[in-house]
């Protein structure tokens, strides 16, 4: 069964932990983004205590030695998954895998970030990356298949492309929201149904749940919508 990873994109750790407890019965884990990660100390540890896997979206991208040390520290703090940009290359990704494995005692896995959902084809042209988006994701996914990362983070629009290129790696899709919710700063979004039909393993949902008047109710509704779908 596919699962939701709730993005805890909130101002304080207390708010994040309270929300995590409220929706815990309806989600598969939690995502800690850069805001919370670089805010109050202890964010990872406190969310880990809620009792579900924690996905630290650190988006590591540096020289291999620095990435290895950062991944090791995040693993020590309890991260189940840590993200690193695939564009950092195989040497950097291998360093991230090694660092996280050491820090987590072998329990953690690296998720390679392909193309951010805030970018589209015009943005790739502006930054000098060969596009279109699907072709760029395919190149990165093929590279990822040769590195021991656990999965790939990509838009639902490129899930099938990434899966064909990378085989059995986990597919984690951000930008997921019910149809009535705004896209905000993301350009390549999709509904829950579209993500599941595309073959996503984990769906990252943020403001659709965290900004709702009844976050637990929305999370429960999404979980109900997912019943009957199986991981590809």
Give catalytic residues, as residue numbers: 59
The four Cα atoms 154, 224, 209, 134 give a dihedral, to 10 degrees, of: 10
Distance of alpha carbon 124 from alpha carbon 111, whole angstroms? 21
Q: What is the DSSP letter of 101?
A: H
Are 217 and 187 within 8 A, CB to CB? no
Query: What residues pair up with 205 in beta bridges, in sequence order?
Result: 6
The four Cα atoms 119, 122, 125, 131 give a dihedral, to 10 degrees, of: 70
DSSP string, 14-27: HHHHHHHHHHGGG-
DSSP string, 168-218: T-EEEE--B--TTS--TT-SS-B-HHHHHHHT-SEEEE-HHHHTSSSHHHH
What Å distances lie between residue 150 and 15, 79, 106, 133, 139, CA to CA? 30, 14, 12, 22, 17
């Amino acid at each position: 069964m596919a699962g939701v990873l709730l993005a805890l994109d909130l101002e304080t750790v207390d708010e994040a932990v309270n929300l995590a407890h409220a929706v815990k019965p309806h989600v598969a884990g939690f995502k800690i983004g850069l805001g919370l990660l670089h805010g109050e100390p202890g964010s990872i540890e406190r969310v880990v205590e809620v009792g579900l896997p924690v996905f630290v979206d650190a988006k590591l991208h540096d020289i291999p030695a620095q990435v290895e040390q950062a991944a090791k520290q995040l693993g020590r703090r309890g991260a189940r998954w840590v993200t690193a940009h695939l564009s950092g290359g195989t040497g950097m990704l291998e360093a991230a895998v090694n660092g996280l494995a050491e820090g987590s005692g072998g329990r953690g896995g690296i998720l390679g970030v392909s193309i951010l959902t805030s970018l589209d084809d015009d943005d790739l042209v502006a930054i000098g990356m060969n596009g279109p988006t699907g072709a760029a994701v395919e190149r990165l996914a093929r590279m990822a298949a040769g590195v021991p990362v656990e999965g790939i983070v990509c838009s639902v629009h490129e899930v099938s492309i990434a899966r064909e290129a990378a085989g059995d790696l986990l597919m984690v899709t951000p930008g997921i929201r019910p149809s009535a919710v705004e896209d905000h700063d993301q350009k390549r979004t999709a509904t829950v149904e579209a993500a599941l039909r595309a073959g996503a393993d984990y769906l990252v949902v943020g403001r659709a749940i965290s900004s709702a008047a009844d976050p637990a109710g929305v999370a429960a509704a999404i979980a109900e919508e997912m019943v009957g779908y199986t991981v590809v």
